[in-house]
Each structure stands twice: as C-alpha cells, then as structure tokens.
Chains A and B, each alone.
Chain A
C-alpha cells in the first residue's frame, strides 16, 4: 500500500450504532488530520494530530472521538450520530513544517439513517 488509505470506503449506520473509521499513512509523516466534506460547503477541519498528540479540535461534537495510537494510524470513532453528519470524511497526513503539503486519502462516504 502507498500513500494514505482509508477504510471502509462506504458506511451506512443508524443513529444508535457505534462504528469506527480507519486511516493509515505510508509516507512517514508526523501529522494527521480528519476533514469533513459536505455538499456545497468548504472542507471543514475536524481534528489535527501532530507527533501523536491532538493539537486541534475545531468544536466538533463529542459524538466524534478521534484516536491516534501511532504516527501511521488515525481513527475516528462514531456514536449516536445525526443525519446531518452524513458526509465524506477525509483523512490527510503531512510533515509538520511551514509548507507541509497534505496528502489525502480517498475518503469514507458516511450515510446516517
């Protein structure tokens, strides 16, 4: 595997379910990110992990819970979601540097029913 991978690619879940999204980067980067992409809206940065520590949490509801066990893996744990949480969730990684370009995974298309 190369680049940034995400599983699953598609997920349908009910509002009472608990599920997790997984992201893995094979680029040797030291920062990882979760973004939410909804139709007709700019990409929203949700969480940032730098050197395995969460350094940013942009007022994301507690029903989203990130986990970064090491520099290559990032999870997003989901529970009691709402229909408006349906979106494409994108994972990205980068080096922590002033110009650190981000590399994105293919995303997980989440539908909450």
Chain B
C-alpha cells in the first residue's frame, strides 16, 4: 500500500531563514510526487511535482524539492522564506490504480514564518 509521512506538524522559522519540510513515502509501485500549498481559507495549489528526469525540481514562489529514491524522500526547501509563505504544505503521491489516478496526501506541515 502507498502512504505519505510528514513528521513535522508545524515548523516555525524566522523570516529570511532557510527551511526544509520533510516528506517520506512508501510504495510498492512507481509513484509521482507532489507538493501542494494551502493558504488560509483557500483550496490547495500545486507548488511543484516530480514525474521523471532530474531529481531536483523547482516550483513556484522559490521552492524546490529533491526526489531521493533510496531514502524514499521528497523534501521541500526554500533558501529564504517570507512572511507570505505562512501556510499549510501537503506532500502527496500519485499512482495509477484502476480507472483513474489516486492521490494520497500526508497530514500536512504548517509553516509559520515569524518576523
């Protein structure tokens, strides 16, 4: 079975500091990996995705993530965060099962950027 683990429920960080949000997954089949962001009172927005090719993927708002197959990880990083990055971040894995693709989410990490 496929699963996603986000060990950190909340990550406090000061503005302009670097941040890493951790994501580990478990799967017996090939998966595709995503990070979504949810700002307060909004839906989920795709930050970035790994489908194939280069293991370092860049997304919107200066975020990037690295796919590490041996460690089954897909950690999200940003070298310098802003107050506006305060939001909940969800890691997800997608695989094709049956009639459609399935997307399994982690429990989310709240990034709290402080001035």
Contact B42 A101 (CB under 8 A): no
Of A11-19, A65-73, A74-82, A92-100, the stretch lying at the interface with chain B is: A92-100
Chain A residue contacts of B54, Cβ below 8 A: none
CB-contact partner of A56 in B32, B49, B100, under 8 A: B100
Nearest-CB distance from A48 to chain B (Å)? 6
CB-contact partner of A100 in B42, B43, B94, under 8 A: B94
Query: Is A61 located at the chain interface by the 8 A CB criterion?
Result: no
Chain B residue contacts of A106, Cβ below 8 A: 42-43
Chain B residue contacts of A102, Cβ below 8 A: 46, 103
Nearest-CB distance from B53 to chain A (Å)? 12
Q: How many chain B residues touch the partner (CB < 8 A)?
A: 25
Look across to chain B and name the residue whose beta carbon is closest to the beta carbon of A48: B100
Query: Is B14 located at the chain interface by the 8 A CB criterion?
Result: no
Look across to chain B and name the residue whose beta carbon is closest to the beta carbon of A41: B107
CB-contact partner of A43 in B101, B102, B105, under 8 A: B105
Query: Is B44 located at the chain interface by the 8 A CB criterion?
Result: yes
Contact B43 A104 (CB under 8 A): yes
A43-B105, A96-B99 known; A101+B94 contact, CB < 8 A = yes
